[in-house]
Structures are given as structure tokens and as C-alpha cells.
Structure 1
Amino acid sequence: MHFKHSIARSAVASALALAVATAAPAFAEEETLPEGVSAENIVVTGHASIGEFGIDLSARDLSANPGDDFERYASGTWLDKTEIPADRASVGSFNNLREDVTAQVNGLITEAPAGTQYGALYQSFMDEKTIEKIGLAPLKRDLTAVDAISDKVEFARFMGSTYDKFGGSLFGATPYADPDDPAMNSLWLFSSGLGLPEKDYYFNEKFAAQRGAYIDYLTRTFKVIGVPNPREAASRVMTFETYVAELNWDVEQTRDIAMINNPMSGAELANYAPGVDWGAFFAGNNIPPQDRIIVTDNTAIRAIAALYASTDLETLKLWQKARVTHQASPYLTKKMIDSRFKFTSTLSGVSEIRPRWKRAVDLIDGQLGELVGESYVQEYFPEVAKVRMDELVKNLKLAMADRIRGNEWMSADTKTAALEKLDKMEVMVGYPKEFRDYSQLPMSPDDLYGNMVAATRFNADYTMSDLGKPVDRSKWAMNPQTVNAYNGGLENKMVFPAGILQPPFFDAWADPAVNYGAIGVVIGHEISHGFDDQGRKIDANGAIKDWWTPEDNERFKAEAKKFGEQYAAFEVVPGAFIKPDLTMGENIADLAGVLVAYDAYHKSLGGKEAPVIDGLTGDQRFFLAYAQVWRSKAREDALRNLVTTDPHSPARYRTIAPLRNVDAWYAAFGISPEDAMYIAPEDRVRIW
């Protein structure tokens, strides 16, 4: 249950950390289509959920020049009047839809009897009186287990065992598709163990306040659990974590799929990183001896293993107690929750904790996600939405194929391999083919802590059960109610959950230009992840393989470098610039998503001119829909966190940066060389 920054999943799966807005069911028509009837044959009447045709015209600032600041032009009035709620780090289309989906899910949960699993978990979380009465008794039992550790071998076993309980580990392990044999799951090993978000937080002067808040939090933690000299204990833990952070790879390195593909046997790992008893660690993790382990950030793991060997047991136990308490705190007394929030709020800039009912929904989404998801899709995702999404995806894949065929810098052999990968890319919409079975997971309406222990173990065992087995591509890494989407990396698949398929992304009554500019761009984004700076290293079968010619590779890198230089010039908040090496994959996918969706939109017109609506051409509506999907306001601390840790650029730059390289945007709004966003045609990036 320790925090895993999951190098394997984030770098390999290339999951898109999107976020979404306005709720209400996406469709209100009949829930099934007659046999033989496609979505294209349905005549839709009614009004879009936003405005008359799907764009919020009142959000625009018509005094702004679209060529100077297109975000301002598309959403300036909205930016002026919108306030960030005290309990949120940001507000915008993505965030708002997440809030709306939270309310939808809450309705499903609160209507469920306490005897049902998610009804029981919800009631146990909301029963503050019982939680206060129980106090810290369950936590103290876990801390006693840490006290009982007598040597480093036992400690390594305990670290391994935290995969299914409260506690921390310097290393994480999870099954995932093997880079050389993607049809089989192998064990991936990666470093972990930090209490702050990323290594830069331990050294950069801009995060001095967060470091101070963390030490204060550790001090409060040790005081409440009865550790002598709590300030000194906090200092020891902070010093230890700083050493760990110094040995970590930079976050940019962890997304390089070629660098993290380092297979070893268990015996080779023991020789490579001898500072840890790996047999004890894996035994605690319930993992049998392995002939093949993908040791991701290998040099960091070796160095951290050596640090572990040289660190005294008492310091390690203090660190472990801090990790156990931190992870358990959300399920304990108000005092513990408030102490934790006092620290975590410094990372996001929020001043109020989320309402308890919202935290309950988040918890149930995390622990019983597909159980809730099955009810969610029955209530909010009619089959017609799935059919129409399938049509959109088909059109986007055809447009991407045309982009590949027409690419001027890609050789014929590389184009053939790219088209094969695109053809084999599986698309999953709405919900998985089969929902998980949770029948063996007991939930009690009056034991929150026990519920969390049981649910964590149940989910950890479910994940670990894939080890050594063939990859089941039908399994999802997101719940159906999730407002997000992702490209499955080595699994060569795309997933679009039901949660994101609502306005402003997807609307039955919206103008096609709006749907293509919104959800169409998301689809194009996910498709193109298969061909971004990391996806291009994965072949049609999901194996890590260099299928590009050397000449194509050099031309791609040259365009990517030019693209990165554009982003590197953006200062998000004072002193914090976008890191192109960290964000390159998402930036490329953003640009490709716009281009491919634009092409697909024009294909959908069948050679006809799009109508002019409210004085806006089809192209103008397409680009406005795109910009309004990304409209957002965020707190400075949250933006600093994002720029430091997140492979996605902040929302403003996801709006304006790709468009500067899209010729059709210039034509749609008459952008000229005098405008601030203008880039000369010969300097625009031409990747896809």
C-alpha cells in the first residue's frame, strides 16, 4: 500500500492524465439501437448541453486578438469570473466534470443499502463518531509490528509486505507486459520511498516551504504516536529521504522506455544490488523466485540498496512508522486527518479539505471501482454512446493512417510498420467486456480501518495474480466512471471510459465540429501516443523494438527538438519553465491529436461545406471547442508541482502551444505575422 510512482506503468503505458467537465448524461435517447442501425443513421433533435450547438459563446473575450492569446479569446470572460473553490487546486472543464461524476457516483452509493459492499464502505467512512471512539488503536497495532522488527532481513520482508497494507518500501514491484515478450506478464521493479512528490522537492529552493511543512508534519506524527524526541526523529527521516532522493533518477529519465528495460534474474539482481535481502523482500511481497525481472531505474535501485545497507535499523524503523501513519491517517481521527492535510495542502495550495462525502466517493472509486462502474454505466452510459464513439474512433484511425501515408520525412518501410501498428491498436470504449468479481471481499459498515486493510489486500492480490500469466488485454487500468483516457503502451490499446464521454467532450446534440474538436482530439491524442517519442519504440505487437530507419529517427528527433524548444520558453509561474524532456510525449500527442481530429472532421463532411453558425465557420467552432475543453485556472503551488512532476504541460499551454503549429488554425482566424502567437510556416513543427 506504499506509494508507487510507478515508473513501469507511467512510462510504458503512457497513460493520458486528462481531466474533464460539465455533467448530465451524454445522451437521452433510447438506450439501444435497433439491429442493423448505425449511429450515423440517427437523426438527432434537441439542443446541445452547452449553448445552442456545444460551445459556450459567453465565455469568450471578443476584445482579445485570437492570434495574440487564443486561450483569452476562447475563454477570457470565463477566466475573469471563475474562482477556484477553496478545496480544489484547480478548476476547469476537466476538473468540473470530475466533480459532476463524483456527484453522480455519490447518488449511486447513497442509494445502496449498507449491506452492499460499497454501501458498507461508504457508511464506515461517514461514521465519524465510531471512528473517533476507536481512535488510534488499529494504527498502534501496525506500529507494534514495526517495533518488533529485529534486523534488516525482517525489515526487507516487511517492506515487501506493504504491497497489501499500510507502510512504505524503498522499492515497488508489479506485473506488467514483458518488453521483449509482450504477450506475457513479467515482474517490474522500481524505486520508491519518498514522502515528498519528487526528488526536486528535496533540493530546489522554490520548495523550501514544502520541506519545512513536511518536517513539521513528521514532528507532529512522531509526537502523536509517542516517539521520543519527535523533532529529532523527523530530522533523521528527512535526512534519510534526502539521501534516497539524491540517488533517484530525474523524472525525465524514468519515462525513457529504452532506459528502463533492464531484465535480470533474481540471482543477477542479488549480485547487482547486494545491499538488500531480495529473497526476504519478495517473500514479503508474496512473489516466488523469478527468472526474469525488469529492473527499471537500475542504477538508482543499486544505489538505494547500498544506502539501505549502510543505514541504521532505528532510522529505517522511524521512516517506516512515518509511512504507516501517513497512509493510515485518512481513515483515523479528525486530528490525524487535519495534520495530514496541513502538510499536503502546501503541495497544492488549497485551503480547505474536500468535503467528507467526496473523499468517501474517491475512496470507493479506488477500492471498489469496477463494482461502482457497473452501476454507473447502467445509469449514465446508454449503448448509443458506445456505438457513436466507435464511429468516431474509426474515423480518427483512418485520418491517422492518411497522416502516416502522407508523411514526407518517413520512409516507406517505416510507414508500413506504423500502419501495421495502427491497424492492430485495439480500442475499448465505455466499460470493460467483463467486470471484476468482488464477491470475496467482505466490507463492514462500522470498521473503516479493517475495510481498508481488506480492500487493499484484495486489490493487491488481484494485481499480483497476473504475474507469470499471459497478458489479458481486456483488463482495464481505469474505472468506467473515470474522467480520463489512456494508451496502453505495450498492450497497444486505447481506453475511453464512460466518465469522459459527456459534455463538453461528447454530446449527442452538439455540432460535429464541436465533438471532433473535443473528444475527437482526445481520441487522436491517444492514437498518436503509439507514435510519440516513446511509443515509436514499441512495435505492432507491443514489444520494445527499433522499427524506424536511422534516417527517420534522426528526422523525427530534429523536429521533436524544435518542438521542445518552443515549450521550454514558457514560464508557467515565476522561475518554473516547462521541461520539454519530461513533457515531449504528451506535447507531441497534443499536436497530433488536433491535426488528426481536424482531418477526421473534414472527412465527416463528405466534401460538403460546413454550415456557418452564429457567425462561426466549422473550422472556427472546431478550434474553439478544443480551447474550451482545456480552459483552466490553477493555484501557483499546484502548477509548480505539475511542472516538476507531471509529463503533461499545464492546460494553458496545451491550448496555445499546439495551435501555433497548425496551419488550419492560422487560416480559420486570419492569424498574421504581427500576432504574438505567430510562427513562420517554415518554422512550424511537422511531425505528423
Structure 2
Amino acid sequence: MKQLYFVRCATMSATMLGLLAGTAQAQTKIKTKSSGAGKAKTTVAVPTSGTGLSLANLDKSVSPCDNFYQYTSGSWLKNNPIPAAETSWGSFNTLADNNRTILRRILNQAAANRTAKPGSNAQKVGDFYGAAMDTVAIEAAGLKYLQPHLAKIEAVTDLAGMQQLLNDPKSHVGNSWYGFGVLQDLKQNDVYMAFFNQAGLGLPDRDYYVKDDARSKGIRTAYQAYLTNTFKLLGDAPATAEKNAATVLRIETRLAQASRTRVAMRDIPAMYNKRTLAQLAQDYPNINFPLILKINGLTAAKDLVVAQPEFAKEVNTMLVAEPLADQKTYLRWHLVTSATPALPKAYVDEAFRFSQVLSGAKQQQPRWKRAQAATDGALGEAFGQLYVDEAFSPEAKARAKVMVENLRAAYAERIQATDWMSATTKAAALKKLNAFTVKIGYPDKWKDYSKLNVSRESYLNNLFAAQEFAGQENLNKYGKPVDRTEWTMTPPTVNAYYNALVNEIVFPAGILQPPFYDPKADDAVNYGGIGAVIGHEMTHGFDDQGRRFDAQGNMKDWWTKEDADKFNTKAAVVSKQFDAFTPLDSVHVNGALTMGENLADLGGLTIAYQAFLKTPQAKAGKSIDGFTPQQRFFLGYAQIWRTNMRPEAMRMRVQTDPHSPGQFRANGPLQNLPEFHQAFGCKDGDKMVRSAEARAKIW
């Protein structure tokens, strides 16, 4: 988490942050008394009839001890096929769709308001969304607003010109060659560091370029067709377009071969390669790090972190070995792909045809959804304020805060009860737990968009202006105090995250909605839903990556060697379990890639259940709709992972996503929990019961 569902990175520094940032109970009346972290208690009036769970979603032809995921959601999965414009459909999607209904109304009102004060958030939101929806203007403009950027690429005549262009914040050459940005120093997180990272690929992952199986070859063939057709749209003759497509694929393949795998990228200490500017100038003269820092206004920087030195070495070689004309072809491609959403329909349709090969989607998302997502990315906190006014009350925020503190208290109990941690490591773990900063719903301080200029003239210009704004906002952090009020997700986002660098857990208002959190539901359903999400984010502070950071958020080893070895042994059990899961024939989950998320799911479920047992509902033991409180807890947990997914999207997810497919996020942790087995009367030998010696237990 890392994030709970998807990893979303808007800037270069967020690429690293995405590796470190992991990503509510219902009650009629609440009384809260708090005397410090972990001390909150609640008094809850428990509903007497079932809400939050629909019995119609169950598939009672399946035993809960055979396949609990199918038992919980089998009928829902059958009755909710994937919409043509989607690659998957589940709890996250339905909640996001509900949120979009609210957002669409807000954005339509903003776009219709042509009298908003110039420079106001209302004007910027309305004009950004309005320009994105104005397909007539986009078609009429053609490549008018892209041509100045294409001309910049064409004007490059030598290495010096290429170096200048690559670091020009107004060049918009997309994800080409490498990434650069500013991030908190991993070992001294009260200051910022400059950061260089591998990038430059058009396909989802480096493995798409290097694997020789039939599917990978087929995707590369389709990618080359996409390249060729796009170059034709730009005006290249057919033979030239084919040659240019082959050039781009060759350069990207070379970059891919020098890139680290996603599993290797999980080794955070191995990416902390700090070098002095003098060393960088000597080792990578063709990249020209002094120029990078100068153009980006970081002249005070005396050093820089190179996350993958071997990748930097290859880029340094390629910048002189690759013909300049080929490099310019490569940049043309990345410029166009960064601009595609704002280009005429032919470009968008070409991109979608290729995305179908990767994801299996049958139709494009309607334009309003694409425009809405773009507006959220550019100005999410500007209209997010209106969203929370409508969808997230102060009372809901207060109730969620109470639940977080209940889980923090339960986590402390679990840490203290572990039989494998020494007293020294336990004390450090408790210190970190109690130091968690909790952010719920929306920021206390909203983002200032005053320096972002937006108009109705050109969606492409707005898109590029938003990219420049975000990039400059990131660079401006260097040399300033760390802003610990900042959010990396907007309020409507259906997600959550843990940020190791500031030791915080964050829950946007977008996810604090049914089925994750339902104010009308009983505690069992809410603790199984959002409670497990909260526990998941907390556990990221102690997973295989988060455990490397201390209570202050600095990368520091606070474990004894013996305890670290024991943790790694226990984590390896989880990795082995997930390696064996096969969502499709011959396709296995990668236990190493999904390690952090699987550990967080197991820990989050365990902690949420411990916290739930302290509620009046759990203590009363009264059944609702024929299910005990304990059974309703596990039903509430499993229902949040229900997902139908296209085979193409499933293959891509298994290859690139650090999150396991939904059915394994439901069943995987439960197979290890005696509490679940007891709740449903599962016995040794049942598929949902792992043998005692094969079970995973950490917290």
C-alpha cells in the first residue's frame, strides 16, 4: 500500500513514494473518551436487522469452508458482469462509480458557470473540465497546440541540445529516458533529496520487452502496430512510420534490459545510492547531472540519489551511441503519448485499440469519465472540497477516527503478545505504532492552485500546464521544511495508503463509504470492511519494506538481527502460499512481488478482528440474519474483495501489480486464521483450513 488497490504516481518522486506509501464502524450513538493514542473506546447501539450485507450476494451452494470468497459473493459475481468499458468490476469499482455520480454533477455545474471569478478554483475546475469535454474544439485544433513541442524536438542538433530538451519542464516529452524529482531523504526525512530513477518505457513493465512467450511476443507486435499507426497520423509515410516504430521499440527494449525488475525494486536500501555531484559528472557525463540540477533550480544540491546506477550507466551510453535522429523519433513518440487524451479522436482510438490487447476492455470509457479523472489529477483538491461537503460529514470523520484508535490499541496488544519478538524490538515497534499520524477524509490545509493557469482555449495546453504545475510544485520543495500536511491522494479517491517517510496512515473520504464503511451497518461489517483496511495500512509500517523505517520515518534498522531473521522466516511462509495461487491456467501469483500487500492483508485482518472482539456487538453475541457477529465480520471482510476481471487484465495485474487478485486477498489470509475456522465450523482437511504447520502467523 503502497496503496490498497492501485499504485498511482503523478510525479517522478512519487514513483519512489509509491514503493514506500502503502496504501469505520457503524453506530447510532457514540461516546468517545480518549486519553492518548490507543485509548479510545466506543459505546455502540447495534442494529437488530442486517444492513451492510446482502444475503442475495451469497452463493449457498458453496461451503464457506471450501471457498469463502465464492460463498460470500458468488451470486454477486454471477449477477454483475463486467461492463463493456471496464476491465474489472467489483467493490472498488461500484464505490468509485457512486462517487463519480457526485463528481460529475459538481463538474458539470462548474463547467456551466461562465461567470466564475478569473483565477478562482471554480473557474479553473470549470474550464479544465469544460475544455476536456469540448471535442469539437479538440478536433478543430488538430495538432495546432502540439506543433510547438514537436518543433522543439526537431530543432535539436547535438548532445547538448538533447540534454537541454530532456530537462526543459515545458518540453513534455513524457516518460522518456529517465525520471527526476525531489523526495524526502530516506535517512534524514526532515530534508529533501534529489532523486533519479529508471523510466522511459511505453509498455507496462520491463518484462513485456524481454520475455519470449507467445503472449509477450503478441503484445509487442500489437505495440509496434500502435506505434506505426500513430506515426502515420503524425504525417509519416507508411514505410517511414514502420521504421520509426521499430526504432522506438528497439530503444525501449534496450532501456528495459537495463531496468530492474519489480521485485528488485522492492529492495529500498538498494536504491539509496547517494552520489556527490562531482562523482555523477565523472561517471555519467552524457546525462549531465549538473545541468539537470541547474535547469530544475536545484543549484544548492551537492548530491543526488541514483536509484539504479546500472540503468543510469546504460542511458549515459545510449545518449551518444544512439543516432540523434533515432533519439528524436523516440521523443516524438513519448510527447504524443503524454498528449493523447487531448488530441483528436483518431489518436485516442488508436491508443484504446492497443489498450484492449493489454486489458481486454470492449469499449472506451465515456469521455466524461476520462475528463473527470484528468480533472481530479490536475485539480482534485479544488473540487474535492465540494465532494466532502456532500459525501463525508464531520460525524463520519469522527467515527472513523475512533475506529483507527481502537485498532491502534488492538495492534499494541498483538505486538506485546508476540512470542517471537524481543523486548527491545517490541518497544521500538510500539513507539512506531504510537507515532502514526492519522489523516482521515480530506486535508486540513487545501492545496493552493493560484500558480496554475487554466482556460477554455485548449485542453492540451491545460493538460501540459497541470503537468508543469505538479512538476514545479515538487521541485520547489527542495531546501524547504518538509510539509507533513500534504496528501498524495485527492478526497474522492477510493483508496488508502501508508507513507513510510512520515509514518502516516491516510484514508480519503472516497473509501469511507459502503461497502467499506456504512454508517447504517453493524460493527461486525464495518470492522471487517474498513477496519481491515485500517489494519492493512497500519501493518504496512511493519511489512517487509515499512519495517525498515523507524518511528520518525527515517530508513533505519531498529530490529535486532534475531528478530529480523524470525520476521523474514515468517514472511517467507506467506510468499510461498501466494506463489501457489493460480488465477488463470499457468499464471501464478508472484509471492515476492505481492509480499508487502499480502502481509498487510493478513495483519490488517488479524488486528481488525482483535479490535472487533472488544465491541458490545461481539460481546453480546446476538445473531443478525442468521449469522453470528463473528461470521458477519468475516463476511464483511470478504465482500470488499469481490471482483470480476477480464483474463487479459488479470494477466497484466499478476505481472505488474503488487496486489494479489481479489479472490486470494479474501481467501489467502482466512486460510491461516483459526478464528475464522471456528466461526464457520471448518475442520482440518477443508480447503479453507491450512494445516497447523503450514499456517502463517506474524501479529
Shorter-chain TM-score tier: over 0.9
Match of 1:352 in 2: 363
Match of 1:172 in 2: 179
Match of 1:430 in 2: 441
Deviation at 1:33, TM superposition (A): 11
Deviation at 1:29, TM superposition (A): 9.5
Deviation at 1:288, TM superposition (A): 2.5
Give, in whole Å, the separation in 2 of the partners of 1:33 and 1:119. Answer: 41
Q: TM-score, normalised by structure 1?
A: 0.94
Give, in whole Å, the separation in 2 of the partners of 1:27 and 1:150. Answer: 65
- Structure 1 residues 212, 63: CA separation in 2 closer, same or farther (over 3 Å shift)? same
Match of 2:68 in 1: 70
Q: Secondary structure at the match of 1:573?
A: coil
Q: Secondary structure at the match of 1:582?
A: coil
Deviation at 1:142, TM superposition (A): 1.1
Q: Which amino acid aligns with 1:227?
A: D
Match of 1:154 in 2: 161
Matches within 5 A, 1:198-209: 198-204=205-211, 205=213, 206-209=215-218
Contact 2:622 2:628 in 1 (8 A): yes
| Gap regions ≥5 residues in structure 1 | 17-24
Give, in whole Å, the separation in 1 of the partners of 2:693 and 2:554. Answer: 36
Tell whether 2:523 aligns with 1:516. Answer: no
Q: Equivalent of 1:316, from 308, 327, 330?
A: 327
Deviation at 1:345, TM superposition (A): 2.2
Deviation at 1:301, TM superposition (A): 2.1
Match of 1:677 in 2: 688
Give, in whole Å, the separation in 1 of the partners of 2:312 and 2:181. Answer: 15
Q: Equivalent of 1:580, from 573, 578, 591?
A: 591
Match of 1:267 in 2: 278
Match of 1:86 in 2: 84
Match of 1:370 in 2: 381
Q: Which amino acid aligns with 1:320?
A: L
Deviation at 1:362, TM superposition (A): 0.4
Q: Which amino acid aligns with 2:158?
A: D
Deviation at 1:304, TM superposition (A): 2.7
- Structure 1 residues 407, 284: CA separation in 2 closer, same or farther (over 3 Å shift)? same
Give, in whole Å, the separation in 1 of the partners of 2:674 and 2:265. Answer: 34
Tell whether 2:656 aligns with 1:648. Answer: no
Match of 1:10 in 2: 18
Give, in whole Å, the separation in 2 of the partners of 1:34 and 1:603. Answer: 14
Contact 1:164 1:460 in 2 (8 A): no
Give, in whole Å, the separation in 2 of the partners of 1:486 and 1:2. Answer: 15
Tell whether 2:114 aligns with 1:103. Answer: no
Tell whether 2:146 aligns with 1:135. Answer: no
Deviation at 1:34, TM superposition (A): 12
Give, in whole Å, the separation in 1 of the partners of 2:418 and 2:653. Answer: 33
Q: Which amino acid aligns with 1:224?
A: L
Bigger shift: residues 537-546 or 266-275: 266-275
Contact 2:524 2:633 in 1 (8 A): yes
* Residues paired across the two proteins, number: 673
Give, in whole Å, the separation in 1 of the partners of 2:537 and 2:386. Answer: 26
Bigger shift: residues 202-211 or 646-655: 202-211
Matches within 5 A, 1:551-590: 551-590=562-601
Q: Which amino acid aligns with 1:143?
A: L
Match of 2:119 in 1: none
Match of 2:5 in 1: none
- Structure 1 residues 28, 373: CA separation in 2 closer, same or farther (over 3 Å shift)? farther
Q: Which amino acid aligns with 2:146?
A: L
Post-superposition Cα deviations, 1:309-346, rounded to whole Å, max 9, x if no partner, equal 32111111000000001111110111111111111222
Contact 1:376 1:481 in 2 (8 A): yes
Give, in whole Å, the separation in 2 of the partners of 1:167 and 1:646. Answer: 22
| Gap regions ≥5 residues in structure 2 | 1-8, 35-39, 117-122
Q: Secondary structure at the match of 1:495?
A: strand
Bigger shift: residues 214-223 or 383-392: 214-223
Contact 2:27 2:45 in 1 (8 A): no
Match of 2:513 in 1: 502
Contact 2:173 2:331 in 1 (8 A): no
Matches within 5 A, 1:463-482: 463-482=474-493
Match of 1:19 in 2: none
Q: Which amino acid aligns with 2:18?
A: S
Q: Which amino acid aligns with 1:569?
A: A
Match of 1:20 in 2: none
Contact 2:44 2:616 in 1 (8 A): no
Bigger shift: residues 132-141 or 290-299: 290-299
Q: Identity rate of aligned residues, in percent?
A: 37
Q: Which amino acid aligns with 1:134?
A: A
Contact 1:620 1:668 in 2 (8 A): yes
Q: Secondary structure at the match of 2:272?
A: coil
Match of 1:213 in 2: 222
Q: Secondary structure at the match of 2:501?
A: helix
Deviation at 1:164, TM superposition (A): 7.3
Bigger shift: residues 201-210 or 140-149: 201-210
RMSD: 2.4
- Structure 1 residues 45, 119: CA separation in 2 closer, same or farther (over 3 Å shift)? farther
Give, in whole Å, the separation in 2 of the partners of 1:606 and 1:665. Answer: 17
Give, in whole Å, the separation in 2 of the partners of 1:607 and 1:80. Answer: 32
Deviation at 1:177, TM superposition (A): 1.4
Give, in whole Å, the separation in 2 of the partners of 1:153 and 1:657. Answer: 54
Give, in whole Å, the separation in 2 of the partners of 1:317 and 1:540. Answer: 47
Match of 1:227 in 2: 236
Bigger shift: residues 244-253 or 202-211: 202-211
Give, in whole Å, the separation in 1 of the partners of 2:171 and 2:621. Answer: 55
Contact 2:20 2:501 in 1 (8 A): yes
Q: Which amino acid aligns with 1:56?
A: S
Give, in whole Å, the separation in 2 of the partners of 1:338 and 1:422. Answer: 48
Bigger shift: residues 599-608 or 468-477: 599-608
Q: Equivalent of 2:674, from 634, 652, 663?
A: 663
